[in-house]
């Protein structure tokens, strides 16, 4: 999956609904069914072209890994391409490509997904192959151990050699003091190096079953056509054992934390701060107002923080916010900024904190609220134009425990957000005792070999 695909998903995910039962306005108008073995089937019809997106989402991610085997969820994602009795290692993607399609997979903290974009008349083919590896994966040391080297190299190239990614990893580990969201999706290297074939098979046997999976199809097909196919290929797979996400919950936090990283690759210092925040699952009442708040203060060149820090004070070259509320447990709300020229990072931090204090003290205005809500409503309209956006948003939402009604009710819920709700949510989320601040800097007095700012990662997926 490309970075642009992840960006589209993140944009649309910020606009999900929160409250069940408000289904007056539709977003994707999906149809749903459930197979006898517990597998949920979701369809988003789109007849503009004779193509489909076929996705299988498993309700398991890196936050569900047993202690000591971090990275096993992402590792298994890679190993799912290593074949069955009916398919040789690597043939899955080759067959998809020969039939004019493309495929990939991704892992996050709460879910693992597999997808194929393919012509409508090839849907049977990819569905049969996906169902085959749901239950018939074959693993042995001769394929597992070389792939372990692949994911270790992936960690090296994507995390270990990227100061921004390393800082983001350290900040998440500090933000979540006990919860497994503080664990890197790709895994800690010293644990990755010890992952075994049996570790992968045990995780596969526990979590990969139809009753823990969601089939989402978008494109040129009707439910009358799709459901018999789903029953033919997925419906015959026996139901697996019922799994429960047993996660350590976050304790009360009493003090702000700070992480500073200096690295020769950093050519431009940057500043960021993460706050613990509610998700759609933990506090639906605050999540929608925080969506709107992030749009108001930190989304693009018309946002409040950009005007104040980049345009008026000329102290930053860029500034923004992020909010990641599609989660099983607590989410995060963040602010980031890059200083302009030789502006000291401490001065930039004071300026950002002053803007945050202004939001907490004075709140947002009705005009800011109206413009932000309209932009978010517009984004849902644009999402309908994408073949895969509906499949990805629905799959992600259902995988973390939200419902179709919660996704579809988004326009009603976002339209109902008030100024008071946004201001109250801002006061609760901007709690320094529930925050981690990150400073990314060049080496003190040392050579600078990098170019540009390396901002910490805010959320992510391990991609096959």
Give catalytic residue positions: 77
- From 139, 126, 163, 128, select the one nearest 75 (Cα to Cα): 139
Residue with structure tokens 């302009």?
Answer: 340
Give the whole-angstrom CA distance, residue 439 versus residue 435: 13
355, two tokens: 């803007």
3-class SS string, 135-192: HCECCCHHHHHHHHHHHHHHHHHHHHCCHHHHHHHHHHHHHCCCCHHHCCCCCCHHHH
| CA separation, residue 77 to residues 22, 90, 169 (Å) | 36, 13, 21
Give the whole-angstrom CA distance, residue 206 versus residue 186: 20
The percent helix, strand, coil of the chain (3-state, each to 5) is 45, 20, 35
Q: Is 43 helix (H, G, I), strand (E, B) or coil?
A: strand
71, two tokens: 């990275």
Q: Helix 3-13 to helix 389-399 angle, to the nearest 10 degrees? A: 60
Give the whole-angstrom CA distance, residue 191 versus residue 212: 26
Q: How far apart are the first and last CA of the chain?
A: 8
Q: What are phi and psi of 314, to 5 degrees?
A: 55, 40
Give the whole-angstrom CA distance, residue 383 versus residue 27: 8
């Amino acid at each position: 999956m490309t970075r642009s695909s992840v960006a589209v998903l993140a944009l649309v995910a910020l606009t999900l609904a929160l409250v069940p039962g408000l289904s007056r306005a539709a977003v994707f108008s999906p149809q749903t069914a459930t197979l006898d073995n517990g597998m949920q089937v979701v369809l988003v019809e789109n007849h503009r072209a004779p193509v489909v997106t076929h996705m299988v989402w498993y309700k398991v991610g890196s936050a569900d890994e047993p202690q000591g085997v971090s990275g096993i969820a992402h590792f298994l994602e890679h190993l799912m391409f290593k074949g069955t009795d009916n398919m040789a290692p690597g043939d899955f993607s080759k067959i998809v490509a020969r039939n004019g399609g493309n495929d990939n997979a991704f892992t996050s903290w709460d879910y693992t997904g597999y997808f194929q974009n393919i012509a409508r008349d090839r849907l049977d083919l990819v569905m049969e192959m996906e169902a085959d590896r749901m239950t018939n994966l074959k693993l042995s040391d001769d394929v597992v151990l070389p792939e372990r080297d692949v994911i270790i190299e992936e960690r090296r190239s994507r995390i270990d050699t990227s100061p921004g990614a390393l800082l983001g990893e350290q900040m998440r580990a500090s933000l979540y003091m006990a919860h497994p969201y503080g664990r890197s999706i790709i895994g800690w290297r010293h644990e990755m190096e010890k992952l075994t074939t049996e570790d992968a098979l045990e995780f596969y046997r526990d979590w990969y079953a139809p009753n823990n999976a969601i089939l989402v199809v978008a494109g040129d097909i009707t439910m009358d056509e799709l459901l018999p196919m789903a029953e033919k290929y997925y419906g015959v797979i026996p139901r697996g054992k019922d799994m429960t996400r047993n996660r350590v919950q976050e304790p009360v936090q009493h003090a702000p934390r700070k992480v500073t990283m200096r690295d020769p690759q950093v050519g431009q210092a940057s500043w960021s701060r993460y706050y613990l925040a509610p998700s759609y699952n933990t506090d639906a009442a605050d999540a929608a107002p925080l969506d709107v708040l992030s749009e108001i203060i930190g989304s693009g060149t018309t946002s409040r923080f950009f005007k104040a820090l980049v345009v008026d004070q000329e102290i930053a070259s860029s500034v923004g916010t992020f909010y990641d509320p599609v989660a099983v447990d607590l989410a995060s709300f963040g602010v980031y900024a890059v200083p302009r020229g030789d502006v000291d990072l401490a001065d930039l931090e004071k300026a950002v904190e002053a803007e945050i204090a202004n939001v907490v003290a004075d709140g947002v205005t009705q005009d800011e609220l109206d413009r932000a809500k309209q932009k978010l409503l517009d984004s849902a309209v644009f999402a309908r134009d994408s073949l895969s956006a509906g499949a990805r948003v629905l799959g992600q939402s259902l995988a973390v425990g939200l419902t179709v009604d919660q996704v579809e009710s988004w326009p009603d819920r976002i339209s109902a957000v008030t100024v008071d709700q946004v201001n109250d949510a801002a006061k609760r989320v901007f709690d320094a005792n529930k925050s981690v601040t990150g400073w990314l800097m060049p080496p003190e007095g040392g050579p600078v070999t990098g170019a540009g700012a390396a901002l910490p990662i805010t959320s992510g997926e391990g991609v096959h």
